[in-house]
Structure 1
Amino acid sequence: MIFTVLNRVARFIDQVNEWIGRKIAWLTSLLVLIIFGDVVMRYFFNTSSAGVFELEWHIFAAIFLLGAAYTLKHDKHVRVDVFYARLNEKQQAWVNLIGTLLFLFPFCIVVINSSYKFVENSFYFRESSPDPGGLPARFIIKSTITIGFFLLLMQGLSLVFKCIITIFNPSNNIKP
């Protein structure tokens, strides 16, 4: 019974992050087009804009922050696999469980707690770019810090549930 509940919650979190990740992936194409346009404007027309430059960084930040949970879901994050690859499925689940509980969760919680006030103040003051021609509504991109780490925390929770199922339910069909 408990494994069924853990499985359902893990699948729901996975579905949310899969949907967000697929939508965020389209931002990479948009970013390429914007950078291409910026390069053309700079080198052929000798003009540039602070707003375009900031937009490039904002889109990159959104891709990175909001796509981190999707990356974790697909196990594409950076890891040293020298020993991990040689472990069996249950041993890998233990490594993932311990690593998530000791490193991922505390890091996400610290970032969420420290960024929340930062984002709240930015919204309160309707922060915008200090640069002439810069983008308004900087508070929107700052909110992706808290949102992105919350999504990453939730994906970590999904990973923990899958690891528990792998370790303690040998008849499972879920891979962390």
Structure 2
Amino acid sequence: MPRAITRYVFWVDVFNRRVGRVVMLLIFVMIGLLLFASVSRTLFNRPLIWGIEVSQFLMASYYLLGGAYSMQMSAHVRMDLFYSRWSDRTRAIVDAVTVVLLFVFLGALLAGGISSTSYAIQYGETSYTSWSPPLAPIKIIMTIGILMMLLQSLSTFFKDVARALGEELE
């Protein structure tokens, strides 16, 4: 594989691995927040109007920013009727073809994310809850997460092509 592709794969994988490992810690922040909200509501009769919504934002950040890391670790669910019986080369070819379909899907998501984010920033869009937080920050995170997934998909595509050609990219 050309050096530019090798460097691309290396840097995208390093970046997504680091972000993914940091984002994994958000689960503990979310657990702490939900525990605090539950204790506040049951013991002190003071429900938090922002607790559930912030935990939803944290969960969305958790899976959107962690998606690329998940893909890198091959942790996404795969329907395996024939896949395990195929040779490594056949798997690489099929994976490369399906990643191209993923590019189309993620491209559409990214276009929608950019449009939605620019709308939220331009018009100061807020949530329709009593707390009414601005939606631009979570939409920015959403768009970044989709972009990271798209970059990781391209990295995965290059790895699959290399495997199909009998090389290894790591």
Q: The TM-score by the shorter chain falls in which range?
A: over 0.9
Tell me the amino acid that sits aligned with residue 12 of structure 1. W
TM-score, scaled relative to structure 1: 0.89
Query: 1:34: which partner in 2?
Result: 33
Q: Structure 1 residue 118: deviation in Å?
A: 1.0
Partner of 1:128: 126
Per the TM alignment, residue 95 of structure 1 is displaced from its structure 2 partner at its CA by 1.6
Alignment size in residue pairs: 170
> Which of 127, 145, 166 is residue 142 of structure 2 equivalent to?
145
Q: 1:142: how far off?
A: 1.2
- Which region of structure 1 is more displaced relative to structure 2, 67-76 or 36-45? 36-45
CA apart distance, 1:153: 0.6
Deviations, residues 21-55 of structure 1 (Å, cap 9, x unaligned): 01111111101111111111122222212211110
What's 2:154 paired with? 157
Structure 1: state its 5+ residue gaps: none
Instruction: Write the distance in 1 (CA, Å) between the matches of 2:90 and 2:49.
Output: 50
Q: Mark the runs of 5 or more structure 2 residues left unpaired by the alignment.
A: none
Greater Cα offset, 9-18 or 120-129 = 120-129
In structure 1, distance between residues paired with 2:168 and 2:98: 22
Instruction: Please give the secondary structure, in 1, of the residue aligned with 2:24.
Output: helix
Question: CA contact under 8 A between 2:89 and 2:163: conserved in structure 1?
Answer: yes
- Corresponding position of 2:113: 115
SS in 1 for 2:147: helix
Question: What residue number does 2:59 align with?
Answer: 60
Deviation at 1:120, TM superposition (A): 0.3
C-alpha change, 1:3 and 1:89, in structure 2 (3 Å) is: farther
1:3·1:165 contact (CA, 8 Å) conserved in 2?
no
Distance 2:85 2:66 in 1: 28
Which whole-Å CA distance do the structure 2 matches of 1:155 and 1:31 have between them? 26
Task: Give the alignment's TM-score, normalised by structure 2.
Answer: 0.92
Which one-letter code corresponds to 1:63 in the other structure? Y
Between 1:3-12 and 1:64-73, the stretch displaced more is 3-12
1:92-111, Cα deviation, whole Å (9 max, x unpaired):
11121011002x11110001
The residue number in structure 2 matching 1:78 is 77
For the aligned residue pairs, the C-alpha RMSD in angstroms reads 1.6
The corresponding residue for 2:24 is: 25
SS of alignment partner, residue 50 of structure 1: coil
CA-CA distance at 1:84 after TM superposition: 1.3
